[in-house]
RNA sequence: GCCCCUAUAGCUCAGUUGGAAGAGCACCUGACUCUUAAUCAGGGUGUCCCAGGUUCGAGACCUGGUGGGGGUACCA
């Protein structure tokens, strides 16, 4: 597809209008434009002229006068363009050459129309950008989800809900950083390109470093590096990170996703549960201003303390199985007997998580605690029950939100447990542990999922500006 | 990976048992100096996702493919 063909795709009438404004001596693309106000700033008491700019989003032509709506991201205001006031030449160029979608600068006085609408009576207008394609939707909104995701800018123009979600996302991460700083945490950055991806079970993306002639992987989690910082003397660290997992996509999984991972020395998972409550409640209070939320029709009360139930209790309650006395195989058999569909040989960690997710679509956030040790190789075992680890996961609205544990600091046991699960292990991490890591607890929070919960979004794609989609066909 | 649903105008959608591609808005032409989903008169602007097949005839039926959605699997 060459450039010439691309130009031919632009609607003919837009090309004609472009020529029309050019031949009238109006530049179709402006430059720096000094505004005196944002549109939201405007009010009736203003004296003299204001200068504003924005995108023309609706127009009502009346022969010798035109009303149109100008939007600048802060607000919308009506502009009144009058032929005899602004002059016939300027009026006619506007009338013939300007479209919905164009960016316009306006100079004029604020006034109220007979119908009572706050407006600006234009004494001059400036074309700032000519638009070559029509904007979608006026009052249908934009519904085509593929266009929403591929051309997010159109979604942001057409749908207030989309603007709200991403504004909330921005203020949430901002407040998260502010609060963590207030708690004495240090924000750090850890490698995205890793030679041995660790800290989680996901399948990594592969890449290649030419200069070093080595295969590298995009990280699946920052965990092993953050723990090395504890060895190095940091006591409270976090990495608000993008991690990457080369697996199937779903309403809850995007291949690249945002996660908060934090570690605190001298803490354990009991402490971390309280910390988790405080962290999420602070966000709910400051960002949402409430603790009662609705997610996909479920009313959820965030008031603390949140329910805690052990992994074993949860499974016993739901399926009458007791993992204390069974291994993975008999657990799988019992669950099958309880009519749980389990493909493959044995149930997996994520299979169990999904069972819990489904059954915990409850009205309270719930900590599932004390997981079987074989499900968490990086967590510390409980003193009084070595088959179980000090780990919790937080579920709310049927979504897995957080995952945390008391960290395993024993390098000998850590080496054993990692090699039980994988052939290639990050020896650098084990070497660090051998130099001594203080007792600590760490937690990961799925930021995309937390935003889903806070914005009542059904899909993770609705809270990620540019979610991963398939290839566009070029036929 | 597997199963189900889905793709028609710029947008939102209709299209009957297979028989001349439609509506509203947008857009274009004209009228109109306080409208706000402006109004009035006129105009259809289309690779019916793609490639085959069945048929006298396919937007519709069949096969394969692609994109999208949902479910399921993988995600210590």
Domain membership flag for residue A18: yes
Domain membership flag for residue A134: no
Number of domains in chain A: 2
Q: How would you class A463 by CB atoms within 10 Å of its CB: exposed for 0-12, middle for 13-18, buried for 19 or more?
A: buried
Respond yes or no on whether ipTM tops 0.90.
Answer: yes
Domain membership flag for residue A422: yes
CATH code (residue A62)? 2.40.50.140
Statement to judge: residues A103 and A194 lie in one domain = no
A146/B69 CA-to-C1' distance in Å: 9
* Single residue among A89, A113, A129 that ends a domain in this structure: A129
Match 């939100």 to its residue by tokens.
A401
Domain membership flag for residue A453: yes
CATH code (residue A399)? 3.30.930.10
* Single residue among A129, A162, A193 that ends a domain in this structure: A129
Q: Does A472 contact strand B, using a CB cutoff of 7 Å? A: yes
DSSP structure class, residue A81: E
Domain membership flag for residue A148: no
pLDDT band with cut points at 50, 70 and 90 for residue A474: low
Residues spanned by the domain of A443: 153-462
pLDDT at residue A475 is higher than 50: no
Statement to judge: residues A9 and A97 lie in one domain = yes
Statement to judge: residues A362 and A409 lie in one domain = yes
Statement to judge: residues A182 and A91 lie in one domain = no
Q: Does A80 contact strand B, using a CB cutoff of 7 Å? A: yes
Statement to judge: residues A213 and A273 lie in one domain = yes
**Protein CB footprint (7 Å) on chain B nucleotides:** 1, 10-13, 24-28, 31-39, 47, 50, 66-76
pLDDT (tens digit per residue) in A48-67 = 999 999 999 999 999 999 99
Statement to judge: residues A208 and A300 lie in one domain = yes
Statement to judge: residues A114 and A163 lie in one domain = no
Share of chain A above pLDDT 90, in %: 77
pLDDT (tens digit per residue) in A431-458 = 999 999 999 999 999 999 999 999 999 9
A152/B58 CA-to-C1' distance in Å: 36
Domain membership flag for residue A283: yes
pLDDT (tens digit per residue) in A347-395 = 776 677 677 777 776 778 999 999 988 889 999 999 999 989 999 999 9
CA distance A67 to A109: 14
- Can you give the pLDDT at residue A361? 66
Domain membership flag for residue A108: yes
Statement to judge: residues A437 and A365 lie in one domain = yes
Domain membership flag for residue A141: no
Which tokens is A430 given? 């084990």
CA-based end-to-end distance of chain A: 9
Statement to judge: residues A398 and A267 lie in one domain = yes
Q: Does A373 contact strand B, using a CB cutoff of 7 Å? A: no
Q: Using alpha carbons, list the distances in angstroms from residue A143 to A266, A405, A421, A452.
A: 50, 42, 45, 19
Statement to judge: residues A61 and A178 lie in one domain = no
Mean pLDDT along residues A71-92: 95
CA distance A225 to A219: 11
Statement to judge: residues A74 and A164 lie in one domain = no
Which tokens is A187 given? 């924000």
Q: What angle do CA A460, A352, A243 make, to 5 degrees?
A: 40
- Can you give the pLDDT at residue A6? 56
pLDDT band with cut points at 50, 70 and 90 for residue A226: very high
Statement to judge: residues A113 and A233 lie in one domain = no
Q: Using alpha carbons, list the distances in angstroms from residue A63 to A26, A85, A375.
A: 22, 14, 73
- Can you give the pLDDT at residue A3? 47
Q: Does A14 contact strand B, using a CB cutoff of 7 Å? A: no
Q: Using alpha carbons, list the distances in angstroms from residue A418 to A100, A179, A347, A376, A426.
A: 61, 34, 20, 10, 9
């Amino acid at each position: 597809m060459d450039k010439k063909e691309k130009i031919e795709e632009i609607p003919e009438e837009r090309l004609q209008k472009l020529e029309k404004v050019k031949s009238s001596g109006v530049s179709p693309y402006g430059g720096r434009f000094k505004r005196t106000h944002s549109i939201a700033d405007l009010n009736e008491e203003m004296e003299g002229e204001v200068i504003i700019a924005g995108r023309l989003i609706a127009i009502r032509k009346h022969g010798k006068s035109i009303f149109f709506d100008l939007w600048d991201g802060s607000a919308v205001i009506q502009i009144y363009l009058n032929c005899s006031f602004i002059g016939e030449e300027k009026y006619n160029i506007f009338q013939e050459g300007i479209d919905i979608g164009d960016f316009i600068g306006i100079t004029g006085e604020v006034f109220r129309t007979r119908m009572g609408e706050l407006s600006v009576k234009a004494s001059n207008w400036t074309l700032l950008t000519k638009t070559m394609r029509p904007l979608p939707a006026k009052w249908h909104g934009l519904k085509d989800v593929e266009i929403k995701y591929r051309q997010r800018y159109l979604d942001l123009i057409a749908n207030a809900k989309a603007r709200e979600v991403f504004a909330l996302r921005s203020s949430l991460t901002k407040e998260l950083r502010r609060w963590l700083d207030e708690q004495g945490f240090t924000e750090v950055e850890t490698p995205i390109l890793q030679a041995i991806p660790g800290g989680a079970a996901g399948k990594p993306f592969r890449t290649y470093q030419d200069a070093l002639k080595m295969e590298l992987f995009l990280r699946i989690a920052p965990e092993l590096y953050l723990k090395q910082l504890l060895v190095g003397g940091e006591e409270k660290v976090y990495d608000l990170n993008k991690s990457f997992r080369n697996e199937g996509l779903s309403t809850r999984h995007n291949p690249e996703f945002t996660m908060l991972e934090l570690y605190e020395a001298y803490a354990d998972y009991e402490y971390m549960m309280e910390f988790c409550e405080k962290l999420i409640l602070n966000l709910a209070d400051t960002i949402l201003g409430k603790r009662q939320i609705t997610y996909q029709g479920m009313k959820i009360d965030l008031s603390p303390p949140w329910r805690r139930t052990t992994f074993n209790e949860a499974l016993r309650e739901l399926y009458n199985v007791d993992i204390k006395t069974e291994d993975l195989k008999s657990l799988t058999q019992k669950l099958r007997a309880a009519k749980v569909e389990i493909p493959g040989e044995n149930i997996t960690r994520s299979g169990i998580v999904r069972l819990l997710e489904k059954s915990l679509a409850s009205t309270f956030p719930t900590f599932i605690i004390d997981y079987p040790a074989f499900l968490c190789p990086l967590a510390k075992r409980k003193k009084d029950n070595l088959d179980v680890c000090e780990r919790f996961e937080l579920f709310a609205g049927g979504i897995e939100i957080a995952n945390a544990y008391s960290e395993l600091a024993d390098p000998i046991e850590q080496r054993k447990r990692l090699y039980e699960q994988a052939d290639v292990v990050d020896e650098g991490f084990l070497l660090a542990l051998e130099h001594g890591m203080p007792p600590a607890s760490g937690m990961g929070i799925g930021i995309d999922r937390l935003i889903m919960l806070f914005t009542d979004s059904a899909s993770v794609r609705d809270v990620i500006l540019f979610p991963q989609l398939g290839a566009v066909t070029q036929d």
